[in-house]
Structure 1
Amino acid sequence: MIEARALTKRYGSKTAVDRVDFTVQPGKVTGFLGPNGAGKSTTMRMIVGLDKPTSGSVTVNGKRYAEHRSPLREVGVLLDAKAVHTGRSAYHHLLAQAATHGIAKRRVEEVIALTGLDKVARKRVGGFSLGMGQRLGIAAALLGDPKTLILDEPVNGLDPEGVTWVRMLVRSLAAEGRTVLLSSHLMSEMALTADHIIVLGRGQVLADAPVQDFIAGSGTATVRVRTPRPDLLAAALPGAPGTQLPDGAISLSGVTAEQIGEAAASAGVVLHELTPVSSSLEEAYMTLTQDEVEYRAGGVPASTQGGAR
């Protein structure tokens, strides 16, 4: 379990994390989301003792990270897969870490097999691809068979098979009762993996809820309708704003499919399609964080609009 209470980090006049409270529960995968500059990395660094809080506290399995006698057995961490000695082989990198905690060579071999590094384990890490480096980082996080895992962008650089493998791995670890905190910008993958979501924006918690509750609470669900008489349907539903879709259908918000069906029946309007469209995690996230983005790109350059001129 990870518990943060009034956790705050300031760098001079800038407040990176502002009195944050949350609990990451065991037995589920908790997604840790937020725009760039939201304070996610700073929070994760404070959890594992790399940054000292200005005020407040954060504990892992009931203690501050520095108070654990054998941290690798308590917390497995992947924050920067490139933070390795590039001249070492994957095997010796893991062996060196294992030696600091009295972890047997057998466990090194187990995590190498688990992460699919068998064929490259004796090769220098400096020649690894981004994906293989990520696998090595995950292997290091799993080395102590920890109760808690903190993984920052673990699927970065992985191929589709690797992405699926990470998804199945973290879900299986959570099913064993472990605590899993997973940070990623890939909303589609987070929707398939996470059970619970914590969203930061400008250093504060914007949401802390089960994924389905978070999506349902976004208020962006719509109903897709197709009818030969959209004018009559609009007259029957004056309070439901509609948007014309490119294929001729209409997207209605603020009204349920049942309400649309009953109104259409009363008005004698024929419906060719009536389909509720649920919000996605990405849509709910974008709705929540649209005013919290610190670094925002500009518009599309004019030279790219409508092709070259």
Structure 2
Amino acid sequence: MIEARELSKHYGSKKAVDGISFTVRPGMVTGFLGPNGAGKSTTMRLIVGLDRATSGSVTVNGKPYAAHRAPLREVGMLLDAKAIHTGRSAVNHLLAVGATHGIGRTRVDEVIGLTGLDSVARKRVGGFSLGMGQRLGIAAALLGDPATLVLDEPVNGLDPEGVMWVRSLARQLASEGRTIFLSSHLMSEMALTADHIIVLGRGRVIADAPVADIVALSGGTLVRVRTPHAARLRELLASTELGTQVQVHPGSSTNEPDVFQVSGLDAARIGELAASAGLALHELTPVAGSLEEAYMSLTQNEVEYHAGGTASASEGASQ
């Protein structure tokens, strides 16, 4: 379990992490999302003691990371897959890491096999592709058979097979009762992998809930409507009497003039309104929104760097 309480990290006047509190629980995969500069990487560095908090605290399995006598057996971490001596082979790198905790060749061979590195185990890391480097970083994180895993962008550089492997691995480890905390910019993959999501924006927690709840709370549920009276029903649904929470969106194709989508009202209420106005309906289908849509809605006012604009003065500060 990971517990953060009023955790803050300031770099001069820049508040990279601003008094955040959250709990990452065992037995599930918790996704960590946020725009660039939101504070995700800084938070992960604070968890494993690579940065010192300005205020507040964060513990792993009840203790600060540095207070564990054998931290590699408590928490495995992948924060920077490139932070490896490029002249070493994969197996020698893992043996060197394992030696700090009395972990020997048997376990090194196990994680090499688990991560699919058998064919390159004796090759120098400097010649590895980005994807192979990621696999080696995950192997090092698993070396101590830890109860908690902290993985920053673990699928970065992996091919589709590798992405599916990380997804299966994360869910398998969570099913064993471990705490899995991972970040990613791939919303579609996070939707398939995570059970719970924490979203940061400008160093603050802006969402902390199960995936389904985040999609629902951000207005991610739409109702697809098909009717030969589209113009009249759209006008009815957009009337001021229904309140500003109701929004009418175009259909999925401009070739479907009789189709549109509605947010802010459920299918039953739309049907009742159409019936009261004598308007026939040919389709009324709830359409689940996506995590990507929910994420964009949550973070639309939290992005520091906008394409085509001028970078924030804080650019270059740590995430």
TM tier relative to shorter chain = over 0.9
Counterpart code for 2:5: R
Paired position in structure 1 for 2:108: 108
Contact 1:232 1:267 in 2 (8 A): no
Counterpart code for 2:248: G
Identity fraction in percent: 74
| Greater displacement, 214-223 / 29-38 | 214-223
| Greater displacement, 67-76 / 271-280 | 271-280
Paired position in structure 2 for 1:186: 186
Q: Compared with structure 1, are the counterparts of its residues 236 and 56 closer, same or farther at alpha carbon in structure 2 (3 Å cutoff)?
A: closer
Paired position in structure 2 for 1:13: 13
Indicate whether 1:281 and 2:291 are aligned: yes
5 Å-filtered alignment, 1:261-280, equals: 261-280=271-290
Paired position in structure 2 for 1:40: 40
- Figure out how many residues of one structure are paired with residues of the other and give that number: 299
Looking at structure 2, the residues matched to 231 and 111 of structure 1 have their Cα atoms a distance apart, in angstroms, of 61
Counterpart code for 1:110: E
Looking at structure 2, the residues matched to 243 and 205 of structure 1 have their Cα atoms a distance apart, in angstroms, of 29
How far apart are 1:163 and its partner, in Å?
0.5
Looking at structure 2, the residues matched to 241 and 140 of structure 1 have their Cα atoms a distance apart, in angstroms, of 49
Paired position in structure 2 for 1:259: 269
Report the TM-score, using the length of structure 1 for normalisation.
0.93
Report the TM-score, using the length of structure 2 for normalisation.
0.91
Paired position in structure 1 for 2:58: 58
How far apart are 1:271 and its partner, in Å?
2.0
Paired position in structure 1 for 2:130: 130
How far apart are 1:236 and its partner, in Å?
4.7
Q: Indicate which of 239, 243, 248 corresponds to 1:242.
A: 248
How far apart are 1:259 and its partner, in Å?
1.5
What is the RMSD of the two structures over their aligned residues, measured on CA atoms?
1.3
Residues 19-42 of structure 1 show CA distances to partners (whole Å, capped at 9, x for unaligned) of: 111111011100011111111111
**Matched position secondary structure for 1:69:** coil
The runs of 5 or more residues in structure 1 that have no matched partner are 300-309
Q: Compared with structure 1, are the counterparts of its residues 258 and 144 closer, same or farther at alpha carbon in structure 2 (3 Å cutoff)?
A: same
Paired position in structure 2 for 1:152: 152
How far apart are 1:102 and its partner, in Å?
0.1
Residues 190-245 of structure 1 show CA distances to partners (whole Å, capped at 9, x for unaligned) of: 00001111111111111111111111111242211111111332355333542333
How far apart are 1:140 and its partner, in Å?
0.3
5 Å-filtered alignment, 1:67-78, equals: 67-78=67-78
Paired position in structure 1 for 2:306: 296
Counterpart code for 2:266: T
Contact 1:42 1:51 in 2 (8 A): yes
**Matched position secondary structure for 2:5:** strand
Paired position in structure 2 for 1:224: 224
Paired position in structure 1 for 2:143: 143
**Matched position secondary structure for 2:119:** helix
Looking at structure 1, the residues matched to 247 and 168 of structure 2 have their Cα atoms a distance apart, in angstroms, of 41
Counterpart code for 1:294: E
How far apart are 1:269 and its partner, in Å?
2.1
Paired position in structure 2 for 1:97: 97
How far apart are 1:274 and its partner, in Å?
1.6
